[in-house]
Structure 1
Amino acid sequence: MTRSMSNKPSRLPWITAAASFGFLVTQLDVTIVNVALDAIGDAFDAPTAQLQWVVDAYVLALAAMLLSAGAIGDRVGPKRAFLAGLVLFGLASAACGFATGPLSLILARVAQGAAGALLIPPSLALIAHAAHGDDRRRVAAVGWWTAAGGVSIAAGPVLGGLLVETLGWRWVFFVNLPLCAIGAVLALLVAPATPAKPRVPFDLPGQALAVAAVTLLVGGLIEGGHRGWGGAPLAALAAGLVLAAVFVAFERHAKHPAMPLTVFRSRPAWSAVVVGSALNFTYYGLIFVLGLYMLRTLHWSPGKAGLAFLPLTATFIVSNLASGSLVGRFGARTITSGGVLVAACGYALTARLGAESGVLDMLPGFALIPGGMGLAIPALTSGLLASVDRHDAGAASGVLNACRQVGGAAGVAIFGALAGAGIATGLRASAILATAMLVAAAGVLLAPGRRGGA
């Protein structure tokens, strides 16, 4: 295979497939561990607070490193960054599987999240370059990419439950090894060498400020849910807000910023960040609480709990793949706002669940939530890529996905705190909060006087 052939538009489906494996493994590991928490807790005699860190350590590291990952991908080339991310993700997953206690598992999850960050912006950049400015092909490719992530995040509990009951909890991490290998082989065979940005200085102070701010903010939220909202958690939140303000001020004057603020002056990019953060906040948080609800309130086995999440997977597939063609017909703004409102209806229905609920009670919400998200997220992502220069695709997607992951980590922390007073009560409160947040997000999109895409 020659490089010239690799650059032809006909290679886009294969490049999309390779890129999708990167998004697939990172999203799979957000939720696959949820139905394994009881088994991990029993194996290590770990309290609930440590189990929440097993989930959040991954999401926190993923969020904190995404800005850096976008910049690294732009500077060394998306293909090299993507391959390095797959190798490191596989090694970190093996470390998770061989963990000997909660601390070693949490540290390995941090490494796994940091490696996962190297997969998301470069994978989108590979697609953006391969589409050669063809909006229709790019929208379709992004639809498949988001479908891979949406399906994997929904299928995580299903696969996790089956693995826990058959091979043991360690296999929820070992399963990543063949997935990373397939993605790496595909990328080596079909992805062309993509343009890098050599000689551009790396914004190390900006990256450090971003990582510190995200870590303090999300860490403060997590610990506040367990220890109360005073003392160390409050100090962490305050310090995180100060560092976030310093980061923004620094980036405005940086010659080569990690987060190019000018990119996000366009309506599609700004709304993508706001709405994407709200979608992840609500979904990641509720999936965490639902896992506890099924295991500890309904007393289901991990396998049964995993299978209960199966409708999420099917609806994600249909809505993700439909999103691209619907955006082409009705516009990104219409499809995004419609998808957000559909998801809000799903959360409202989920608020009805109680201590005696069954699978049939869950089905309506479990169909509408991923149905709406699957419509909205491809429109957000494609709108963002269309609004920035191709050479800024890695940095822009890094910012979008960093904000989304921060939203997801915050959702786990806050919804987990709501469940602390009682899982069934916390689930209801979480679903009501999720509904309100998404209605507000749709209101931002539909406000009079707004123009542009998503």
Structure 2
Amino acid sequence: MSETTATPNTRAVKAARPRASLAVAMLGFFVVALDAQIVNVALPHIRADLGGGLSGLQWIVTGYTLMFSALQLFGGTLSDRIGARRAYGIGMAVFVAGSAACGAAPSLTVLIAGRVVQGIGAAMITPTSLALIREAFLDAVQRGRAITYWALGGSVAAAAGPVLGGVLTQFGWRWIFLVNLPVGIVALIVLARVTPSAGRVAPFDWAGQIAAIAALGGLTFGIIEGGSVGYAAPEVLAAFVVAIIGAIIFLIAQARGRHPMMPLDLFRSGTVSTGLGIAFVTMAAFYGVVFVQSLYFQEQRGASALVTGLLFLPMTGLVAIFNPFVARAMERLGKIVTTIGGMVLMALGLIALACLPADAPILVAALLMVPVGLGGSFTVPPVTALILDQVPAARAGTASGILNTARQMGGSLGIAIFGAVLAVQPTFQTGLRTDYAVTGAVLLVLAVAALRLRRAA
């Protein structure tokens, strides 16, 4: 009797836990992706309330993306060491605390510090959310479906972010951060139903991690503040020196360290190196466009935050709708051709935006953003597949972590560079056109480089 009674309960728990793991993973990826997009439309309102110039607005965005990119590999290692469930819980708690700090920030400095804390939490949530799915779904087919749902959460967040940001800003910009609190609390409650994860010995590359943060932080500070105070300023030059020293120490640590976080031999493959370059530039272009167009619509064309969010909807919405067709394009055209097509489409959109007259209807500008978003979305899956095809299965996790880091670095430095160009140009329109034209040209050069990979293959 007792054995018969226990069996259904056991089965119920086992059936519930994969669903709980998927729900937690989706909530985590959703809130992390949402926070990367929801902030931009509120930037003018934040500046009106807390003050600060263009560099301050850049730091609000890059404070998050910088730590997100710099600590992703650390987050994966921590997940392996203490278990995915525990690492996810720590990451979500840190993210919620950072969101609360941002929502209550009395000054721009405190807001940026809160964004840094959010980025630290996000860097732990993303790799652990996938690890939870891997642990909960042992069947490859079911795991593939679960990952599809996980990715859908990110797509929905990217599409809804600007619109939701515009809506919440009508009630006060602080709500774009406070909205994370109930989502994070629900995720932590559901996490209690997830099966505890086992940890294993996973050594940290402390020298490489610290050097990477110094290099990325110094470079980002130099680019952003250089556009504000001049690139000959002592603090800017010092930041670039820190970046160079950090980069040298990082390369030495990866070449000679016993447990490198980014093994340099992966870069011997031309496909891997080119793929990482494509991932970096396409993400820099996308994040840069979202940042610049948010300021353009509101400060140059007088649109409200809500209208600005709606103007982003054609780009973000169509990206979510057309995302399932990328796999078909890869099967029919091949990975490299699909990647090249995406980059060319993105470049054409950027060049069209650069050539758009200053008094053109803002709806036209919104429509010209569509090829930028669509083109970028058509490069992500094929570039990922190309890189993973070039590495052994045992190093697939490391390669994926490096790829995600390259993407987030591109987003962080893209905002820094785009904003710096705006700061040094005589007018906003001149800076916008310079940003888009140069980035479009770089994408076309990378498309040619990818074409050479196709010939080599």
- 1:302 maps to 305
What are the superposed Cα offsets for residues 390-415 of structure 1, whole Å, 9 maximum, x if unpaired?
Answer: 66555433322222222112111111
Structure 1 pair 142/329, CA: closer, same or farther in 2 (3 Å)? farther
Contact 1:62/1:405, CA 8 A, preserved across alignment: yes
Bigger relative CO (Cα 8 Å, ≥ 6 apart): 1
Contact 1:19/1:187, CA 8 A, preserved across alignment: no
Q: Tell me, which stretches of 5 or more residues in structure 1 are unaligned?
A: none
Please show how residues 116-195 of structure 1 align to structure 2 within 5 Å.
116-127=122-133, 134=140, 144-165=149-170, 167-185=171-189, 188-189=192-193
What are the superposed Cα offsets for residues 83-133 of structure 1, whole Å, 9 maximum, x if unpaired?
Answer: 321221112111110111111111111111111111222234445566769
Matched, 1:333 2:336: yes
Q: Tell me, which stretches of 5 or more residues in structure 2 are unaligned?
A: 1-8
What are the superposed Cα offsets for residues 263-288 of structure 1, whole Å, 9 maximum, x if unpaired?
Answer: 45455543432111111111111211
- 1:208 maps to 210
Contact 1:139/1:378, CA 8 A, preserved across alignment: no
Q: Which has the larger radius of gyration?
A: 2
Number of aligned positions between the proteins? 446
Matched, 1:256 2:259: yes
What are the superposed Cα offsets for residues 11-53 of structure 1, whole Å, 9 maximum, x if unpaired?
Answer: 5x87555433323222222231111112111222333332222
Contact 1:323/1:375, CA 8 A, preserved across alignment: yes
Structure 1 pair 17/351, CA: closer, same or farther in 2 (3 Å)? farther
The 3-state SS of whatever aligns with 1:279 is helix
Contact 1:66/1:118, CA 8 A, preserved across alignment: yes
Supply the distance in 2 between the matched residues of 1:172 and 1:419 (Cα, whole angstroms): 26
Supply the distance in 1 between the matched residues of 2:384 and 2:312 (Cα, whole angstroms): 25
Amino acid in structure 2 at the alignment position of 1:177: L
The 3-state SS of whatever aligns with 1:235 is helix
Supply the distance in 1 between the matched residues of 2:304 and 2:406 (Cα, whole angstroms): 34
Contact 1:276/1:404, CA 8 A, preserved across alignment: yes
Supply the distance in 2 between the matched residues of 1:79 and 1:397 (Cα, whole angstroms): 20
Structure 1 pair 39/228, CA: closer, same or farther in 2 (3 Å)? same
Residue among 364, 371, 376 paired with 2:374 = 371
- 2:58 maps to 52
Residue among 326, 345, 348 paired with 1:345 = 348
Contact 1:122/1:394, CA 8 A, preserved across alignment: no
Contact 2:315/2:367, CA 8 A, preserved across alignment: no
Structure 1-normalised TM-score?
0.87
Amino acid in structure 2 at the alignment position of 1:45: G
Supply the distance in 2 between the matched residues of 1:433 and 1:426 (Cα, whole angstroms): 11
Supply the distance in 1 between the matched residues of 2:107 and 2:159 (Cα, whole angstroms): 27
Structure 1 pair 57/276, CA: closer, same or farther in 2 (3 Å)? same
- 1:226 maps to 228
Supply the distance in 2 between the matched residues of 1:332 and 1:139 (Cα, whole angstroms): 19
Cα deviation for residue 233 of structure 1 reads 1.8
Structure 2-normalised TM-score?
0.87
Contact 2:344/2:444, CA 8 A, preserved across alignment: yes
- 1:399 maps to 402
What are the superposed Cα offsets for residues 297-331 of structure 1, whole Å, 9 maximum, x if unpaired?
Answer: 00111111111111122111123222234334444
